[in-house]
Amino acid sequence: MRLLVTGGAGFIGSNFVRYVLGERPAVRVTVLDNLSYAGSLRSLEGLDPERFRFVRGDIADADLVGGLVPEHDAIVHFAAESHNDNSLRDPTPFVHTNLVGTFTLLEAARRHDVRFHHISTDEVYGDLALDDPARFTESTPYNPSSPYSSTKAGSDLLVRAWVRSFGVRATISNCSNNYGPYQHVEKFIPRQITNVLTGLRPKLYGDGLNVRDWIHTEDHSSAVLAILERGRIGETYLIGADGERSNREVVEAILELLGEPSDAYDLVRDRPGHDVRYAIDSSKLRAELGWAPRYTDFRAGLAATIQWYREHEDWWRPAKDEVEAAYAAQGQ
């Protein structure tokens, strides 16, 4: 099995590459990544060169993609502009990568009849009220809020159309918020951990009561592999690990685990259009493919993640000041 993994130098992609090479000795991986601000070759260090190759390039480059795709049995498509706050500052690269990039890959998959798995997000469904007993399912209507989530929703719809109209052998997964090693310091959990480690106070948007449904990134990887190998073509699978927590609860846990008072955080300007709550019902994935998460103790997973950031300051330090300056400029 030769896999073309787009976005493999990013957070979830690099974790997936390590996971699949570890779990499947017969698999070979090519990573296609343009090394945007969010990608780093340092996240892929130490992989076996006999089974792993890196290609730097843009997924919207039709010539490059057209040459690579026929050399592979499947595409696992992680590459995206992934951060909501950035999409509010400038949506332009989100349209390019998430929409034009996905279209370019789909066209190549169609031309060469290559299996395609599309990585998406629960944010395509919009948000839920805090007191709503409902969770997202595969039949929840699309209702995205931000430039990021609307371009992800658009890319999902392209995949669905390419399955139905052209017979592309594709599946889609929509996952909830990931945490774990190699996540960029712009994102919530790494930002707060590295704030404390550098003497800054954690920053909570608004009242801090928004809820996210956390899953360890290794559990996301195992779910993607299950869908790639055993998922039904044309189907969508929601991935989640029953990890609902308010942002305030998460910050308090980070502070406690780092030996700080649990109220040593600041409330800052809210994100415009801030989704209130995400919650995933992953029954279909569990029942159909027998998948279950391994990281069921969020506090233990968080403690391990904190330890990783303690031990890898050389990985995150170069990006930290610029990220904080951009947040400070908008009162966050």
Q: Does 142 bind ligand DAU (CB under 6 A)?
A: no
Q: Return the residues of window 90-119 that contact ligand NAD according to CB under 6 A.
A: 97, 101, 119
How far, CA to CA in Å, does 272 sit from each of 98, 145, 206, 227, 248? 21, 10, 10, 34, 18
Name the segment binding ligand NAD (CB under 6 A); options: 57-65, 68-76, 108-116, 250-258: 57-65
How far, CA to CA in Å, does 207 sit from each of 126, 184, 271? 20, 24, 11
* 264 SS3 class: coil
Among 278, 291, 295, 309, binds ligand DAU (CB under 6 A): 278
Among 87, 102, 145, 177, binds ligand DAU (CB under 6 A): 177
85 is known as an active-site residue: no
User: To the nearest whole angstrom, how small is the minimum distance from the Cβ of residue 203 to ligand DAU?
Assistant: 4
Q: Does 244 bind ligand DAU (CB under 6 A)?
A: no
Retrieve residue 135's tokens: 């969770």
Name which of ligand DAU, ligand NAD, none residue 188 binds, using a CB cut-off of 5 to 8 Å depending on partner kind. ligand DAU
User: CA 33, CA 162: separation in Å to the nearest integer?
Assistant: 23
Name the segment binding ligand DAU (CB under 6 A); options: 41-49, 77-85, 153-161, 228-236: 77-85
Q: Where are the alpha helices (DSSP H) in the chain?
A: 11-23, 62-68, 84-89, 92-94, 102-112, 147-166, 188-197, 217-230, 247-257, 283-289, 298-311, 313-329
- Which run of H or of E encompasses 119? strand 115-121
Q: Return the residues of window 180-199 that contact ligand DAU according to CB under 6 A.
A: 187-188, 191
| 241 or 255: CB nearest ligand NAD | 241
Question: What value, to the nearest 5°, has the Cα angle with vertex 327 and ends 325 and 332?
Answer: 135
* 3 SS3 class: strand
Catalytic one of 58, 81, 85, 122: 122
Active-site positions read 122-123, 148
Residues that bind ligand NAD (CB under 6 A): 6-7, 9-13, 33-36, 38-39, 58-60, 78-82, 97, 101, 119, 121, 152, 175, 177-178, 184
